[in-house]
Copies of this chain bind each other. A is one copy, B any other.
Amino acid sequence: MAAEVTELRNAASGEAAEPRWLSSDEREMWMRLVGLTILLPTAVEAQLKRDAGISFFEYHVLAMLSEAKGRTRLMSELAFWANSSLSRLSHVVTRLEKQGWVRREACPTDGRATNAVLTDEGFAHLEANAPGHVEEVRQLVFDRLEPGDVAALSAVLGRILEGVDPDQRRAAG
């Protein structure tokens, strides 16, 4: 009975008795995934910084605004599309406002809310730098994929993303 208790101890509490260590193939994949999460943004950022004087995150914020109708989004919506906390976004929008690329407007229907609006200057800056950016993304990513990889990768990434943020809404910060 004593042995049984030992064996069941963790199972009953919901914890695995023995860690489910990664196999060497899994470990290899994980190392690559970790490397990618650091190196890919860094590489994309280098091009944008050099050619557009802007960070990847700032570019992405402008891009998400440019696609919204009226080039306008609520801060909280924009934060979601930019994978950002509200706090981070607020600081960045302040900077973008100073550059004249974004403007804040009070939301007419909700007194608490703020709309971020892409200005014409902001749109022009985005438009001017989009070709260089997509070319970089192509060279770094898509030119290295084979037919079928896009669909396969997209599906796998989608499944991982679901778990990373189940309710699809990032917490406040």
Known: A37-B41, A39-B165, A83-B34. A134 touches B29 (CB 8 A): no
Check A140–B153 contact: CB distance below 8 A. Answer: no
Check A20–B153 contact: CB distance below 8 A. Answer: no
**How many A residues touch B, CB cutoff 8 Å?**
55
A25 surroundings in chain B (CB, below 8 A): 150-151, 154
Known: A30-B141, A37-B37, A137-B22. A156 touches B163 (CB 8 A): no
CA distance A40 to B137 in the complex (A): 20
Check A141–B20 contact: CB distance below 8 A. Answer: no
Q: How far is the CB of A49 from chain B (nearest CB, A)?
A: 13
Residue picked from A83, A130, A135, most chain B C-beta under 10 Å: A83
- Which DSSP category, helix, strand, loop or mixed, fits chain A's interface? helix
Check A60–B34 contact: CB distance below 8 A. Answer: yes
Known: A29-B157, A39-B164. 12 other contacts (CB 8 A): A19-B134, A26-B142, A28-B154, A32-B158, A36-B164, A37-B37, A139-B163, A140-B160, A141-B160, A144-B159, A145-B159, A152-B156
| CB-defined A-B contacts under 8 Å, sample of 12 | A16-B131, A22-B137, A25-B154, A34-B41, A35-B157, A37-B40, A37-B41, A38-B84, A40-B160, A42-B164, A144-B163, A153-B156
